[in-house]
Amino acid sequence: MSTSKPDLAPPPTEDPEYAANLRRATLASSVGSALEYFDFALYGLSTALIFNVLFFPQDDPAMATVAAFATYGVGFLARPFGGLFFGTLGDRLGRKWVLVITILLMGGASTAIGLLPTYEAIGILAPIILVFLRLLQGFGAGAEQAGATVLMAEYAPVRRRGFFSALPFIGIQAGTLLAAVVFSLISLLPEDQLLAWGWRIPFLASFLLILVALFIRMRLKETPTFVELEKHEQIAEHPIREIFTRGLPGVIVGIGLRMAENGGSYMFNTLALTFFVSMVGADADRSLLTWGVTLGSLIGIFSVPLTGALSDRFGRRTVYRFGAVFLLCYSFPAWWLLSLGNYYLAIAVVAVGIGVGVNSMLGPQCAMLPELFGNRHRYLGVAMARELSAVLAGGLAGVLGAYLIAVSNGNWLLLAIYMATLATVTAASTFLVPETLRRDLTRIDDAVKVSRDEVGDDVSATTVTIRTVQW
């Protein structure tokens, strides 16, 4: 079978039907992204300030915080399995229906967290059920963002794919922003009311976002590239086997590209708050510091589509590499400034770290990850790259970071080295991929390939080496 197809002319942007579907795809992806990151940002903020108190014994508050972050990390452990399961369905059945299922699963679990009894009420069952709901949340989220990424890349006009693919990721900023604002507002409640019922309100409000996202996605049509795949009867019978043989180099490089973006995001969103409180003391004004996340998300509303558009002009790798190098240079001054315990410096550090450092990588990533994979296993490939990196970067950031704070008595240098390491991995990964700008997404071969894929589909994963493909 041929590994490539003639370029398919992009649908004309002046076609009213295509324009309407493009708008629906953008809105459907944006609302789903907003819900996912609203839930995850809210869970992260609650982990450091609420869940460690309400769902774990308080004999050792520091270890209760570590345990709370462990439940936070459990959600990341579930995401690769969700990505594997739903990514396979997305490559076999299409993008639309998988996105309908994942939004119901993810949002339903988040709503149920708002109804959960505390440790004081039901004892050890409270953290057990919390972990179970977190697993469900992560299982659904494991394919949600990958699906949104693939959906928009496959719908977008070729020459503006970076810009259009980045637009739904404004939903990430909006969801993070909404979580930070809501959490700041409920933090104004007296502590007894906050711990008694106030923290439940934003989780229960997830139900409204589910209804909106479901209404939009039910009206969405399947992507043009998947329709093309069906038309030529090229749908993969065994996408899992393909992704772990032919597609494995793309997954590995994709993981590397995500280490700084994903790990840096969660370090600034959650770990920075815990670290700052450890510096200032238990009487720290926690609601004030969350404005750093808020401002960072506001910057991201502009920086994500901007860097996506810049990648259409200068290339994906160039813009991505800039973000990784910026975060590398920023790591040490950032954590040193946080260690000073000054509220306004901390707000600025978090805002710049999220808005510029992290989002300068997120913008080009929106188009770059789908462009790395062929049409037959694109959904699964993006899901695996995103979610395995989420475990290695984002999931470990909270647990390892909280542990480093506890055992080092708040040594900022260890956290700076950790973030700089993530940034170095990502910067190096940008040299392992070809430039994917304007790649034809109807092609079924990957941009990064198995060195011996000429011999057939049964290439052993143990013999995989990475090489770039020029075209």
- Flag whether 10 is in a domain: no
What is the number of other CB atoms lying within 10 angstroms of the CB of residue 33?
A: 26
- Flag whether 3 is in a domain: no
> pLDDT at position 281, please?
65
> pLDDT at position 334, please?
95
Cα distance between residue 443 and residue 305, in whole Å: 26
Q: Which H, E and C letters describe the chain, residue by residue? A: CCCCCCCCCCCCCCCHHHHHHHHHHHHHHHHHHHHHHHHHHHHHHHHHHHHHHHCCCCCCHHHHHHHHHHHHHHHHHHHHHHHHHHHHHHHHHCHHHHHHHHHHHHHHHHHHHCCCCCHHHHCCHHHHHHHHHHHHHHHHHHHHHHHHHHHHHHHCCHHHHHHHHHHHHHHHHHHHHHHHHHHHHHCCCCHHHHHHHHCHHHHHCHHHHHHHHHHHHHCCCCCHHHHHHHHCCCCCCCHHHHHCCCCHHHHHHHHHHHHHHHHHHHHHHHHHHHHHHHHHCCCCCHHHHHHHHHHHHHHHHHHHHHHHHHHHHHCHHHHHHHHHHHHHHHHHHHHHHHHCCCHHHHHHHHHHHHHHHHHHHHHHHHHHHHHHCCHHHHHHHHHHHHHHHHHHHHHHHHHHHHHHHHHHCCCHHHHHHHHHHHHHHHHHHCCCCCCCCCCCCCCCCCCEEECCHHHCCCCCHHHCCEEECCC
Cα distance between residue 74 and residue 317, in whole Å: 32
> pLDDT at position 75, please?
76
Share of the chain above pLDDT 70, in %: 88
Cα distance between residue 113 and residue 123, in whole Å: 16
> pLDDT at position 459, please?
37
> pLDDT at position 381, please?
92
The residues facing 449 across adjacent strands are 467
Domain tally, the chain: 1
Reply yes or no on whether the pLDDT at 460 is more than 70. no
Select the more confidently predicted residue: 7 or 244: 244
286: confidence class by pLDDT, cuts 50, 70, 90: low
Select the more confidently predicted residue: 257 or 55: 257
Q: Which of 39-48, 236-245, 334-343, 444-453 has the lowest mean pLDDT?
A: 444-453
Residues in the chain: 471
Residue 308, token pair as written in the block: 């996506």
Cα distance between residue 255 and residue 365, in whole Å: 12
Averaged over 368-373, what is the pLDDT? 94
How confident is the model over 160-200, as pLDDT tens digits?
999 999 988 888 778 877 887 887 788 788 878 887 888 88
**Residues near 290 by Cβ (< 8 Å), separated by ≥ 6?**
45, 180, 183, 184, 187, 273
Q: Which of 201-205, 449-453, 467-471 has the lowest mean pLDDT?
A: 467-471
- Flag whether 1 is in a domain: no
359: confidence class by pLDDT, cuts 50, 70, 90: very high
> pLDDT at position 454, please?
39
- Flag whether 221 is in a domain: yes
> pLDDT at position 14, please?
56
Averaged over 97-103, what is the pLDDT? 83
> pLDDT at position 2, please?
40
> pLDDT at position 464, please?
39
Reply yes or no on whether the pLDDT at 441 is more than 80. yes
> pLDDT at position 284, please?
67
456: confidence class by pLDDT, cuts 50, 70, 90: very low
How confident is the model over 288-307, as pLDDT tens digits?
777 888 898 889 889 999 99
> pLDDT at position 15, please?
67
Cα distance between residue 287 and residue 49, in whole Å: 10
- Flag whether 13 is in a domain: no
Cα distance between residue 41 and residue 350, in whole Å: 14
How confident is the model over 45-89, as pLDDT tens digits?
777 677 777 777 766 676 677 777 777 777 777 888 888 898 888
Reply yes or no on whether the pLDDT at 205 is more than 90. no
Cα distance between residue 386 and residue 391, in whole Å: 9
What is the number of other CB atoms lying within 10 angstroms of the CB of residue 429?
A: 23
> pLDDT at position 176, please?
75
> pLDDT at position 323, please?
96
CA distances from 361 to 106, 187, 321, 355 (A): 25, 31, 8, 10
> pLDDT at position 3, please?
44
Select the more confidently predicted residue: 11 or 169: 169
Share of the chain above pLDDT 90, in %: 25
**CA torsion angle 68 71 73 77 (round to 10):** 170
Q: Is 8 exposed, middle or buried (0-12, 13-18, 19+ CB in 10 A)?
A: middle
108: confidence class by pLDDT, cuts 50, 70, 90: confident
Residue 153, token pair as written in the block: 């890349």
> pLDDT at position 320, please?
97
**Mean pLDDT score of the chain, rounded to an integer?**
81
> pLDDT at position 9, please?
43
Query: Residue 329's closest CA among 351, 352, 346?
Result: 352
Query: Residue 271's closest CA among 429, 384, 118, 422?
Result: 422
Averaged over 11-34, what is the pLDDT? 74
Cα distance between residue 269 and residue 70, in whole Å: 16
> pLDDT at position 337, please?
94
Query: Residue 67's closest CA among 77, 78, 57, 80?
Result: 57
Reply yes or no on whether the pLDDT at 471 is more than 60. no
> pLDDT at position 48, please?
66
- Flag whether 55 is in a domain: yes
The domain of 363 spans 19-468
> pLDDT at position 329, please?
96
- Flag whether 92 is in a domain: yes
Q: What is the pTM of this model?
A: 0.78
Q: Residue 407 maps to which CATH number?
A: 1.20.1250.20
